[in-house]
Chain A
Amino acid sequence: MSDLLDSVLDVARSPLALLAVTLGGYQLGRWLQARSGGHALVQPVLVTIVVVGLAITLLDVDYPDYRRATELIAFWLGPATVALAVPLHRQAAHLKGFVVPMLVAIVAGATTSIVSAVLLSRALGAGDDLERTLATKAATTPVAIAVTDALGGIAPLAAVCAISIGIVGAIAGPFVLDLLRIHDRRARGLAVGAVSHGVGASRMLREDETEGAFAGLAMGLSALAISVLVPLLAVFLF
């Protein structure tokens, strides 16, 4: 009997099973998102992380083993990051007469969010590696992971911070913009995309097409700005 249990556990801890749990968790997340009518709190990635986190804890699988088993999935992060050029290209027509305000605003915003995240966390007594992790959270998740890794922060934590701040933007973005009296649609989209990347952009797209397009554009440009600015600002900050 215990032989049978051992064989079942062996299979359950195999790379194939871990891949299946990941894909299954993602499908569950997508199903829940559809059921909730696309609510901002129900992000498939969060559902998947909870499902997989529980599964590997119960099965007693070490994280490095899980990471190796799912290399097949993680590999696509690189090509998908490159693919962010596609929406950027398709939205380029919206740009007439807004290029200068947009570029200045993006660079100013990226600088603000990097410096303020580092200084706020330092003031509240966070450690060095935590400061390095929080610096990148406004970038879209794949970029936040890559930049944090290069900076010596905690990449998995950067991923979760980036996803969380995206959700904050999707829930609170339009409301806070009203409070700040920002009514211009291009500026609204730009602001949410710059601080809450793709998750924020998907909310803006539901509100208004122009807002959504500019949020997508801001996500791509901010990713670039943050990956250039973080190593530069790091010279002064750390």
Chain B
Amino acid sequence: MIAGLTWLVAFQLLGELVARVADLPVPGPVVGMLLLFCFLRLRRYDDAGSIVRAGSALLRHLQLFFVPAGVGVVVYLGLIGREALPIGVAMLGSWLLGLAVVGWTAVALERLLGKPRDDLGGTA
């Protein structure tokens, strides 16, 4: 477990370093995620390995880790109340548009490239 956590912290550190040195606008942990993904693919990393075990354990409780940030919302309750309409409409509207664009683009390209479909219900 500690071996896996050490790897994760090391990749986060590497990600922070790359993001800082290359002056990327992307957060360090996201760069770390990408580097770790490449590492796991290249090594054909085993499912029983320490990184997979530690990573899965952390991800099971991912929600706990953003509580301290989320609680900050109590400071902004007034703002949310005042701006409820733009917040609500922008959230739901852009959710619907994003969902439709991703779904339709994927289906259309699959058809265009002549790939077999994989429909729900399993008759494809």
Residues of A within 8 A of B (CB): 22-23, 25-26, 29, 43-45, 48-49, 52-53, 56-57, 63, 66-67, 70-71, 73-74, 76-90, 92, 97-98, 100-102, 104-106, 108-110, 112-114, 116-118, 120-121, 124-127, 130, 134, 137-138, 141-143, 145-147, 150, 154-157, 159-161, 163-165, 168-169, 173, 176-177, 180, 182-188, 190-192, 194-196, 198, 208, 210-211, 218, 220, 223-224, 227-228, 230-232
| CB neighbours of A130 from chain B (8 A) | 79, 83, 86-87
Q: Is B18 an interface residue (CB 8 A)?
A: no
Residues of B within 8 A of A (CB): 5, 8-9, 11-12, 15, 25-30, 32-34, 36-37, 40-41, 45, 47, 51-52, 54-56, 58-59, 61-76, 79-80, 83, 85-87, 89-107, 109-110, 113, 115-121
Q: If A98-B115, A183-B120 touch, does A137 touch B91 (CB 8 Å cutoff)?
A: yes
* In the complex, residue of chain B having the shortest beta-carbon distance to the beta carbon of A57: B74
Kindly provide the distance from the CB of B100 to the nearest chain A CB, expressed in whole angstroms. Answer: 6
Q: How far is the CA of A48 from the CA of B72 in the complex (A)?
A: 12
Q: If A105-B106, A176-B99 touch, does A126 touch B30 (CB 8 Å cutoff)?
A: no
Cβ contact within 8 Å between B99 and A192:
yes
| CB neighbours of B59 from chain A (8 A) | 80, 83-84, 86-87
| CB neighbours of B89 from chain A (8 A) | 120-121, 124
Cβ contact within 8 Å between B58 and A92:
no
Contact with B9, one of A43, A48, A79, A134 (Cβ below 8 angstroms): A79
Cβ contact within 8 Å between A67 and B113:
no
Cβ contact within 8 Å between B30 and A143:
yes
| CB neighbours of A180 from chain B (8 A) | 99-100, 103-104
Cβ contact within 8 Å between A104 and B105:
yes
Cβ contact within 8 Å between B91 and A134:
yes
| CB neighbours of B63 from chain A (8 A) | 26, 29, 43-45, 48
Cβ contact within 8 Å between A124 and B62:
no
Q: If A105-B106, A185-B119, A191-B103 touch, does A49 touch B71 (CB 8 Å cutoff)?
A: yes
Main SS at interface, chain A: helix
Cβ contact within 8 Å between B90 and A117:
yes
Main SS at interface, chain B: helix
Q: How far is the CA of A210 from the CA of B120 in the complex (A)?
A: 10
Cβ contact within 8 Å between B69 and A155:
yes
* Residue of B32, B63, B67, B117 ringed by the most chain A CB atoms within 10 A: B67
Kindly provide the distance from the CB of A54 to the nearest chain B CB, expressed in whole angstroms. Answer: 9
Q: How far is the CA of A77 from the CA of B98 in the complex (A)?
A: 26
Q: How far is the CA of A26 from the CA of B67 in the complex (A)?
A: 9
Q: List 23 A-B contacts (CB under 8 A).
A: A48-B64, A76-B58, A82-B55, A84-B33, A85-B40, A89-B41, A100-B109, A109-B99, A112-B97, A117-B90, A117-B93, A120-B86, A120-B89, A137-B91, A141-B70, A147-B27, A154-B76, A156-B70, A159-B69, A159-B73, A161-B87, A182-B103, A186-B110
